A and B are shown apart, each in its own frame.
Chain A
Amino acid sequence: MSNPKYKWIGTRPDRPDGADKVTGRARFAADFNLAGQLIGKVLRSPHAHARIKSIDTSKALALPGVKAVVTAKDFPEQADLTVPAGEMQVNLRDVTRNIMAREKVLYEGHAVAAVAATTEAIAKQALSLIKVDYQILPHVIDVAEAMKPGAPVLHETLMTEGAKPPATKPSNIAKRIEFAKGDTKAGFAKAEVIIERSFTTQAVHQGYIEPHAALASASEDGQVQIWSTTQGHFQVRGFCARLLNMETSQIRVTPSEIGGGFGGKTVVYLEPLAVRLSQKSGKPVKMTMSREDVFRASGPAPGGNVHVKIGAMKDGRIVAGECTVEMQAGAFPGSPVGPACMCSFACYDIDNVFIVGFDVVSNRPKVAAYRAPGAPISSFAVESTIDMLCQQLNMDPIDLRLKNAATKGTKTAYGVTFGVIGMVETLQAAKDSPHYKTPVKPGFARGVAAGFWFNVGADSSAAAHVGEDGTVTVISGNPDIGGSRASLALMAAEELGIDYDKIRPVIADTASIGFNFVTGGSRVTFATGLAVVNSVRDLIRDLKSRAAKTWGVDPDGVIWENGMAKPAGSNVGTFEPLSIAQLAATAGKTGGPINGHAQLNVTGAGPGFGVHVCDLAVDADTGIVTIGRYTAAQDVGTAIHPSYVEGQLQGGAVQGIGWALNEEYIYNAQGRLANAGFLDYRIPVASDLPMIETVLVEVPNPTHPYGVRGVGEVPIIPPLATVGNAVARATGLRMLDLPLSPPKLSAALDAARPLMAAE
């Protein structure tokens, strides 16, 4: 498949970083080393909730080989100030407490101290010599429990923002938010069918294969260099500058290749500690998390409780929708309850909608972004309820959704009116897919669900440099987590009219390119893509002026076509076209190096919609679910490099299926995580799933020169309900609580069996 409108866009060349990755040459964060480096290790809280009465580090410091120890005292207090981090917002006062506990430890795994020593063994021994005197406090893990009056309060100063009536005493509810459109009371009064249910989902980890790691080197003159695995090295710089009270220009951050992030690497954990340890010891300090650390102290995505009420007419037209979302924030405020609320009904054009969200703290690690933060949770509840409506009205699940689909001009509950969107096209594409047209195999059942994500733009910088032989380096500042280098190079090739392999895309460190917001929100191919296109256009302007100089004509008399400068018309004169290589060869005579650059705040991100179809079988005796066939259809704008677009859809679908079937955080009575490893935190393995089929629906985003929409978030949203809806149809049992793990599903089936027999 290639796009008939373009030469390069829509083709599938090898990725620029491919050879290094398949040969093992690519350097991930833990592959960076410096001469004389120390190994840093973190002491973590064994308690879910405790007051730190004192910390004695003297014995650790006295151990030969130990060069530095840090605790919260080594980090300045921060103001109560909220700043963006990826798709989420974080409060600096909380961030400094999350990287190093201050007054209290708030979850098992919370960092309490860190050491740097000449060997890992000495560093570990030093941790065992640090004496922390804890006063253990009652803890609360569950959101519903945390919201109850009398629950252990994590933050004595936390008053519910937006509470009605205003909060008078501290609680674990950080915020109440509300979105409304129309009059749901009137809507439900008119409705001929009303369905109301409560759903729960569990906390899940992003599950990136590469654990967090950082190497920091602080010089005597105050300059700091950091190498780390991150989705945003400019954010690492920003956070470190704030948390360590430094100037950003003193910090230079180089991102490593990244072994997965999915939103979880948009915040900092190790970097500020490594810098401070390096400053105190005078040596470079390297820190890596173990997998257990990753589970206990990074991520996860929240779990949530969602109550949904939907009213419809007998013809399937939805006339009212209500949704209440109570979401885990982890130990500090700031769950993605906002996007969860906004995305809940966004796929549909409903006159009357009312949504309430609660941001709730409990003794769990602070949540981080994970693909479409919040949306899968509310969507699971809404899409399950819509499926019940389909069953009750005996309507095809795609037909009912087509009847209610959002289109251009639909006003959302959160206030935005949609422009050109592809919900209808995506539903139709799912309906026309080979999968949906094939009858369901005996023993299997089919589920369908949809999902929506905004996608984002934000700040991007890019540059394009012409080498002396006419090849081009395209420089940007976003870590490549999904094949973005290939996509950026394809757009540059299309724009310049030269071959893809004459362009080398490079990700520059924070000192070598202007500011870029994180790789997240599905923004890079869209927003940084636009910066690259603009930098190439700037370059073309320069190239044309060089040709004009060569020919002695006005720059307006030169056009750029198929990688060549040509006279705009016969009135300009008769000149042989000049290639980029020819212009590069003579650059010294026409004004020196030829470069283009661009920087902008990108707006106009095109929202994305996905519709998934799943055929599965349930082993009635064991509760084991076998996925037989799975298709993900999505409005992808323009597929710049279709293989990587398909990869996004497939990866998102697999993560969503894991969320639906087996992934969950399991806590024991002491509030300690019982499954902090990939053995008992079960992400799907390759043999669990069929090849995920994809249908790319191309509804170009009119605000982007190549019609790009973000594609990375949407595909994780529909799978939870797609799987749940298929299980409901396979078993006759509507499971309201995720995950649908074998013991849980088996117990539910056993409980339902006598009831079903009686019917």
Chain B
Amino acid sequence: MTDIQFKVAKTVREAASLMAAAKGKGRILAGGTDLLVQMKAGMVTPGTIIDVKKIAEMVSITETKGSYRIGAATPAAVIGEHKKLRKAWPGVVEAINLIGSTQVQGRASAGGNLCNASPAADSVPALVAAGAIVTIQGAKTRRQVPVEKFNSGPGKTTLKAGEIVVSLTLPARPKTSGDAYLRLIPRTEMDIAVVGVGVSLTMKGDTCVSARVGLGAVAPTVLLVEAAAKALTGSKLDAKALDAAANACSAACRPIDDKRGTIRYRTKIAGVLLRRATAIAADRAKGISRPAHSQQGH
């Protein structure tokens, strides 16, 4: 039996150097809701576990001129209770609040959800739609990368040896903007997305002036669907634009047939959820309060 080292980092730099020292056997412990499950299942055997929960920058939310920086290890429940963030980015917050169950929310984090690199991660399509930027700390330097470029495949990230994710930054945007995230699961809780769609829109009157669409669980990584965004941008979100955007989402799908859903079903649902998420995001952009009553938005 090999012993597992447990280290508590006080600063981001310390965490990064511990990570580098672990020589590829280091694992970051934020909420641990993926790590501990994987360890119990024998899927991972870390050499060093680096606890980052004591690093203020990684467990806090700050606002600068309308832009929000969310520490990568901030518990989802804390994010859900942040009133201003919830008002500014309701779609991102509702997506983060779908990670795991109510109990898991007390520990699970958006950074962890991103680094776990599941194509079905709930928070990621909403973050992609939001245009979130990931801040990464290496042993010596910091860098930033758009969230849609962060993962490279199921369970794989583009982090280099010794790098850790510090925070996620949501850009400032006009007041007439809104976002939404919808996922399809066969149940109402305790499940993994068969398809997840995040939509972020900025409206000018009835016209959509900019849009971003994130699509999850239908390809090896969460996709930024630019063709869908293009179909929505400049339109009044009429039937023709929605048809084109829904078709673009379906066309972007490269899903697999598995126990959670068929290729045919996933492809269809990508379009269905695009329409529904767009309607919610548009209402929010117009200041109409739209709680997503159910996850499928019906």
Contacts of B189 in A (CB 8 A): 685-688
B273 and chain A: residue at smallest CB distance: A622
Tell me, in angstroms, the Cα distance from A746 to B261 when the chains sit together.
11
CB distance from B283 to the nearest CB of A (A): 19
Residue from the list A622, A662, A746, A747 in contact with B298, Cβ < 8 A: A622
Given contacts A622-B184, A622-B272, A685-B187, contact A679 B261 (CB under 8 A): no
CB distance from B215 to the nearest CB of A (A): 16
Tell me, in angstroms, the Cα distance from A218 to B265 when the chains sit together.
55
Tell me, in angstroms, the Cα distance from A687 to B264 when the chains sit together.
27
Contact call A742/B1, Cβ cutoff below 8 A: no
Tell me, in angstroms, the Cα distance from A742 to B264 when the chains sit together.
12
Residue B247 at the chain A interface, CB threshold 8 Å: no
Residue A420 at the chain B interface, CB threshold 8 Å: no
Contacts of A662 in B (CB 8 A): 186-187
Contact call B259/A746, Cβ cutoff below 8 A: no
Given contacts A679-B192, A685-B190, A746-B265, contact A674 B184 (CB under 8 A): no
Residue A666 at the chain B interface, CB threshold 8 Å: yes
B265 and chain A: residue at smallest CB distance: A743
Contact with A along B265-276 (1 / 0, CB 8 A): 100110010000
Tell me, in angstroms, the Cα distance from A681 to B260 when the chains sit together.
10
Contact call B188/A622, Cβ cutoff below 8 A: no
Tell me, in angstroms, the Cα distance from A140 to B262 when the chains sit together.
23
Contact call A666/B186, Cβ cutoff below 8 A: no
Residue A675 at the chain B interface, CB threshold 8 Å: yes
Is chain B's interface secondary structure helix, strand, loop, or mixed overall?
A: loop
Tell me, in angstroms, the Cα distance from A622 to B275 when the chains sit together.
13
Contacts of A684 in B (CB 8 A): 187
Looking at chain A, what size class is its interface with the partner chain? 20 to 34
Residue A682 at the chain B interface, CB threshold 8 Å: yes
Residue A624 at the chain B interface, CB threshold 8 Å: yes
Residue A619 at the chain B interface, CB threshold 8 Å: yes
Contact call A747/B264, Cβ cutoff below 8 A: yes
Quick one: which of A663-684 are within 8 Å of B by CB?
666, 674-675, 678-680, 682, 684
Residue from the list B1, B268, B294 in contact with A746, Cβ < 8 A: B268
Contacts of B191 in A (CB 8 A): 679, 682
Contact call B296/A619, Cβ cutoff below 8 A: yes
Contact call B259/A622, Cβ cutoff below 8 A: no
Contact with A along B241-263 (1 / 0, CB 8 A): 00000000000000000111110
Residue A186 at the chain B interface, CB threshold 8 Å: no
Contact call A680/B260, Cβ cutoff below 8 A: yes
Interface centre among A624, A688, A743 (most CB of B within 10 A): A743
A750 and chain B: residue at smallest CB distance: B268
Contact with A along B162-202 (1 / 0, CB 8 A): 00000000000000000000001011111110100000000
Quick one: which of A636-691 are within 8 Å of B by CB?
661-662, 666, 674-675, 678-680, 682, 684-688
Residue A471 at the chain B interface, CB threshold 8 Å: no
Quick one: which of A96-137 are within 8 Å of B by CB?
121, 124
Tell me, in angstroms, the Cα distance from A234 to B52 when the chains sit together.
53
Residue from the list A678, A741, A747 in contact with B186, Cβ < 8 A: A741
Contact call A624/B192, Cβ cutoff below 8 A: no
CB distance from A321 to the nearest CB of B (A): 34
Contacts of B298 in A (CB 8 A): 619, 621-622, 624
Contact call A743/B262, Cβ cutoff below 8 A: yes
Tell me, in angstroms, the Cα distance from A114 to B272 when the chains sit together.
50
Contact with A along B13-49 (1 / 0, CB 8 A): 0000000000000000000000000000010000000
B1 and chain A: residue at smallest CB distance: A121
CB distance from A522 to the nearest CB of B (A): 29
Quick one: which of B272-296 are within 8 Å of A by CB?
272, 294, 296
A621 and chain B: residue at smallest CB distance: B272
Tell me, in angstroms, the Cα distance from A556 to B246 when the chains sit together.
88
Quick one: which of A394-409 are within 8 Å of B by CB?
none
Tell me, in angstroms, the Cα distance from A116 to B230 when the chains sit together.
63
Tell me, in angstroms, the Cα distance from A121 to B3 when the chains sit together.
13
Residue from the list B188, B259, B268, B296 in contact with A680, Cβ < 8 A: B259
A-B contact list, 25 entries, CB within 8 Å: A121-B1, A124-B42, A619-B298, A622-B272, A626-B294, A661-B186, A662-B186, A662-B187, A674-B258, A675-B259, A679-B191, A682-B186, A685-B187, A685-B188, A686-B189, A687-B187, A687-B188, A742-B186, A742-B194, A743-B194, A743-B261, A743-B262, A743-B264, A743-B265, A747-B264
Known pairs A686-B189, A747-B264; list 8 more (Cβ under 8 Å): A619-B296, A619-B298, A622-B269, A661-B186, A684-B187, A685-B187, A742-B261, A746-B269
- Give the 8 A-B CB pairs with smallest separation, nearest first: A743-B265, A687-B188, A621-B272, A687-B189, A675-B259, A674-B259, A666-B259, A680-B259
